[in-house]
Amino acid sequence: MINVICLSNQVWDFPNWTNKRHVMSRIAGLGNNVLFVDPPINTGRMFAHQVLKGQWGAKRLLTQKYRDDGVLIYSPLNLIPNGELTSLLHAQRIVALAKKNLDPTLKNVLWVYHVEIPGLQSYIDLISHDTLVYDCVDNYGAFPENSSFYSATIGRDQIIKQERSLAEQADVVFATTPGLVEKLSKYNSSVHFAPNVGDYKRFKDVQELKQAQDQIPEDLQAIPRPRIGFIGALDSYKFDATLVRKAAIDHPNYSFVLIGQFALKEKDAGLEALGLADLPNIYYLGPRPYEQKKYYMAGLDVELIPYQLNDYTVGGCFPVKFHDALAAGLPTVVTDLPTYAPFKDVTYIAKSPEDFSAKIELALKEDDKEKIKARQAVAKENDWDGKVAKMLAIITQ
């Protein structure tokens, strides 16, 4: 058993579960102690929006911590506009929480995702640890400027500098794509390929839900079939609205359903923000809780992952939703990211906008029980339980 202190770059209660929560909840489920640190949150309009939406109760506001799924979550608030100073204060609070809540007889693992956090070295220096882990799940140096959802971040040059320093200091480095492995291997000889996977157990019964029509949400049932869907964050730097627009124009009898949040917006947005409001066969349902995702998947005929091809996506993007869709048995049409190459037999990889539109039609025509079984077999081999077991084995060794 170990103690894990996780510095995350996405909050625990993000509308859709992230790879960070999947990993940490499973580590806790194995009997380990986990202190999950949300990215520091600025107390401005974004924070006020969260409070108004009921995300912060009185107890959480007072203590900035709560427990969920066997994990202690600390949500630091930036009360003063000084990144270096607030980092010192947050690190000191983390030290106190660890001393009070973690087992002093166990080894401490400092597990870092957040290379964009101001003053990262302060956390590394102040938080006592036996093992330092850098878990790299994105090409952070290629993020658009000012892309932070919750907290003030440093500039791109400083992000690259901090990431290199962290990679050089880490005892273990995990990377989710071959491109990230290649990049980080320049700084550390202990870099391990740990691709994103899916929640097979959660989504393996979607085909049964599909047969039971009463399990499909009413707002989705009201939309004509076939339903071609995307479930996830509608970020402008990766979601390709032009692909969806072309596909919707090419197939006016198909319904294109978008479910998710506009992650970089301070308020709810709609199809106008994507330039899709003029097409009658595109439907935006807004964000939905992760717990409801499988019911919405059961109402889809094809799932899309229409990501742009740019420095961020090509260099280090492996969408978690990909293996979730395979676990559900859904035919999935994706753009030509390198991470999909090993799965070309169970997905539809589009090479161009015209091909993307054509692959949707092909996915509908070819769908059958054998293809569903093949997708789910691959998803079963690529699940979170297996990934976490491999990561813990590497760390303990």
Q: Please name which of 228, 279, 203, 225 lies closest in space to residue 17, comparing C-alpha atoms.
A: 203
> pLDDT of 146-175, one tens digit each?
444 445 567 888 899 999 999 999 999 999
* Residue 230 near residue 303 (C-beta atoms within 8 A): yes
* Residue 39 near residue 9 (C-beta atoms within 8 A): yes
pLDDT of residue 267: 47
Ordered by where they begin, the domains of the chain are 2-197+384-396 (3.40.50.2000), 200-381 (3.40.50.2000)
Percent over 90 (pLDDT), the chain: 70
* Residue 297 near residue 203 (C-beta atoms within 8 A): yes
3-state secondary structure of 161: helix
Q: What is the mean pLDDT of residues 317-341?
A: 94
> pLDDT of 59-107, one tens digit each?
888 888 999 999 999 999 888 777 678 889 999 999 999 999 999 999 9
pLDDT of residue 36: 98
Q: What are the DSSP calls for 192-222, one per residue?
A: EE----B-HHHHTTHHHHHHSGGGS-HHHHT
Return the structure tokens found at 45.
């309009």
Q: Is the pLDDT of residue 355 over 90?
A: yes
Taking the model in full, what pTM does it have? Answer: 0.88
Q: What is the mean pLDDT of residues 177-188?
A: 94
Q: Which residues of 221-257 are buried (b: 16+ CB within 10 A; e: fewer)?
A: eeeeebbbbbbbbbbbbbbbbebbbbbbeebeebbbb
